[in-house]
Amino acid sequence: MTAEKVQASDWNGRNGDQWVAHQASLDQMLAPFGAAAIAVAAPQPGDHILDIGCGAGDSSLHIAGLVGQAGTVMGLDISAALIERAGERARSAGSSALFQLADAGRAPLPVATYDCLFSRFGVMFFDDPVAAFGHMRSALKPDGRLVFVCWRTAAENDWVSLPMGAIKGIVPLAAPSPPETPGPFSFGNVDRVHHILSTAGFGNIMITPFDHAIPFAPDVAGAVRRACDVGPLERALLGQPETVRAQAMQAVGDAFVGRMTAEGVVINGAAWIVTAAAA
């Protein structure tokens, strides 16, 4: 099974279900990153926007309000559960945003139609990112732009580095995947991102670091639960004896104690905001 098929299976299984179950709090966690990318994209009234890997539609709904009735927003995602939730939210809000279950890197796209290709953490999962970005580029108008936000490395992001560092030595960990393996951190290397986009035909590429605190949970116990819901911790603990699980969870809790503030557990998030032109 290809990495891309594994991602599709995950997002139409537990990953998708978990995101739907925790959609409101997860979108709140990611809101500063999405807002920063949207500010850079600067959607204008009448613009036509494609939201790649739109998830439950948070960014799509925001952008739809900016482009107005004269514009359009189409959100694509490979998770049926998340697309269903996005549609529900759009109908509830009376939004004009539209959603479709599709892989943006392969699905038929209208040629030279969109003013902007946008994504909030949705572009790091393609098996062949050069081909995927080349395909999506064909949907841009000649003067169109690409704007997305993606994670930097796992080591720079506490939502992975804290819990996984805490269980090191307690739980046998699988060898890390090659850094280019499709997944949340596959765009961590700035040179790789630049190479992918330039090879796919984009120009005027700019890659800017964006760091922001993430309100992870109201307390340490909640942070431990959240770490199990989002990220690789649960998979690492799968099948472990109860005594090992208990020791690991205690270590994870201890790691989050150091991030407890008056506002709850606050962790560090590190991303790139990437822009390019359809040159």
- CATH for the 3-155+178-212+269-277 domain, from 3.40.50.1950, 3.30.465.10, 3.40.50.150, 1.20.20.10: 3.40.50.150
Rounded CA gap, 75 and 55, in Å? 8
Give me the half-sphere count of Cα atoms (radius 13 Å) on the Cβ side of residue 98: 10
Rounded CA gap, 219 and 257, in Å? 9
What pLDDT was estimated at residue 5? 64
Q: What is the pLDDT of residues 192-243, one digit of tens each?
A: 999 999 999 999 999 999 999 999 999 999 999 999 888 899 889 999 999 9
- Any idea where the domains of the chain sit in the sequence? 3-155+178-212+269-277
Is residue 178 within 8 Å of 254, Cβ to Cβ? Answer: no
Query: Which 3-state string (H, E, C) describes 97-150?
Result: CEEEECCCCCCCCCCCCEEEEEEECCCCCCCCHHHHHHHHHCCEEEEEEEEEEE
Instruction: Return the residue matching tokens 């900016």.
Output: 66
Please, what's the b/e burial string for 121-135 (b: 16 or more CB within 10 A of its CB; e: otherwise)?
A: bbbbbbbebeebbbb
Task: With CA atoms as reference, report the closest residue to 34 among 135, 151, 133.
Answer: 151
Q: What is the pLDDT of residues 92-111, one digit of tens each?
A: 999 999 999 999 999 999 99
Q: Which amino acid is at 198?
A: S
Rounded CA gap, 162 and 7, in Å? 23
Per-residue pLDDT of the chain (279 residues; tens, 9 = 90+): 565 666 667 777 677 678 788 899 999 999 999 999 999 999 999 999 999 999 999 999 999 999 999 999 999 999 999 999 999 999 999 999 999 999 999 999 999 999 999 999 999 999 999 999 999 999 999 999 999 999 999 999 999 999 999 999 999 888 888 888 999 999 999 999 999 999 999 999 999 999 999 999 999 999 999 998 888 998 899 999 999 999 999 999 999 999 999 999 999 999 999 999 997
